[in-house]
Amino acid sequence: MTRYLILGVLTGFLLVTSGCRPALSPKATVFKPIVPRILDADNALAEARALVALGPRAAGTPGARQAAGHLLVRLQAAGVQSTLDAFTDETPDGKVTFWNVMGVIPAAGPDSPRGREAAKAPWIFLGSHFDTKSGLGSGFEGANDSASSSGLLLELARVLQAAGPLPVNIGIAFFDGEECRQSYTARDGLHGSVHAVRALCLNRRVDQVRAVIILDMIGDRDLTVTIPRNSTSDLTSRVFRAAAAEKVRDKFALMAGAMLDDHQPFLEAGMPSIDLIDFEYGSAPGRNDYWHTPQDTLDKLSAESLGIVGRVVIRVLNDLMMEAVSGRQTPDAR
């Protein structure tokens, strides 16, 4: 992650909205909510540690390619249908090859062929970037930014795959090239998420996307998830309600401003999106001085924080899936 923006600047370049509405599940089916405590936070931390052990993962380097291959293997080991999506994009340093890792857990109903059900069901995407900021030396771990969210996303994928069949399609996205090389422009940063959004638009899937939940820097042992203002308010409300139910409401707050992160391209294409990010990652409360420095190391993370965010995400997913099953459609509060 990313660059901090003041809200006034951001609203100037938002392209919203396409008027898309959440798709409804085709048929009411029985859905049993996933028990949040099934999530194994120690496993999420172990996955983060394994990713860090590979070395720096700056986009366009062999390290990023290796990390993508590793995430693909881990996702497949969880039983998730997964692919490597390689693409090239212009950057300030010329053309670069990026590697997104994409997984799908298809929707299914008990009384219809899996494929037909999945084609009509809503989509929920869970995303994390996995690249590390470049220029921080050969020892840079990127433990919180971005191994923490990638480790948790692998664990969430495992839980969701095991909990199926689900009433919605779940997309699991590990984005390459989130970090910019110089400063965020149309050619610098957010490459993976922009590429994924382009594919959704080409495949006319945008209107089927009910929610996009981006995880970034969520492993800090001193956890405060600071939800940026440029998140869809309906999803922000659901996260606060889920956090209250999980008795961790004090760990979640609204950021004073907006962030440019991987949820932004989805928002601009008209998809409800939220960024769960802790942008107070530092040596004292409220400070962010570990961010993009050699101090972003594994010892700053805790399984407890990964567990808190993971369980809240499961509750939000339960909420959205129950709604899809009941056919109830809440107003798009974006």
Minimum CB distance to Zn ion smaller for 78 or for 96: 96
Decide whether 125 or 130 has the Cβ nearer to Zn ion: 130
Nearer to Zn ion, 123 or 290 (CB): 290
Pairwise CA distance, residues 227 & 256, whole Å:
9
Q: CB of 210: closest distance to Zn ion in angstroms?
A: 27
Instruction: Tell me whether residue 1 or residue 316 sits nearer to Zn ion (CB atom).
Output: 1
Round to whole Å and give the CA distance between 11 and 328.
30
Smallest separation (angstroms) from Zn ion to the CB of 185 = 16
Nearest to 68 by CA among 81, 82, 79: 82
Q: DSSP states of 273-331 as a string? A: EEEEE----SSSTT--TTTTSTT--GGGB-HHHHHHHHHHHHHHHHHHHHHHHHT----
* Least spacing, CB of residue 133 vs Zn ion, in Å: 5
Contact residues for Zn ion, defined by CB under 5 A? 1, 133, 145
CA atoms within 13 A on the CB side of 289: 5
Q: How far is the CB of 215 from Zn ion (least distance, A)?
A: 13
Between 144 and 161, name the residue whose CB sits nearer to Zn ion: 144
Least distance in Å: CB of 2 to Zn ion? Answer: 6
Compare residues 34 and 147 and give the one whose CB is closer to Zn ion. Answer: 147
Instruction: Give least dist CB 296 to Zn ion, A.
Output: 9
* Residue 206 CB coordination number (10 Å): 17
33 or 135: CB nearest Zn ion: 135
Residue whose C-alpha is closest to residue 22's, from 127, 172, 123, 170: 123
Q: Residue 26 carries which side chain, given as an amino acid letter?
A: P
Distance CA(57)–CA(64), nearest Å, equals 4
Alpha helices in the chain (DSSP H): 7-13, 41-52, 62-77, 114-120, 149-163, 191-202, 233-245, 263-268, 303-326
- Please state, in angstroms and rounded to a whole number, the distance separating the CA atoms of residues 131 and 82: 18
Measured from the CB atom, is 31 or 291 closer to Zn ion?
291
- Cα–Cα distance measured from residue 58 to residue 293, given in angstroms and rounded to the nearest whole number: 14
- Residue 35 neighbours by CB under 8 Å, 6+ apart: none
Q: How far is the CB of 217 from Zn ion (least distance, A)?
A: 7
CB of 265 to Zn ion, least distance (A): 16
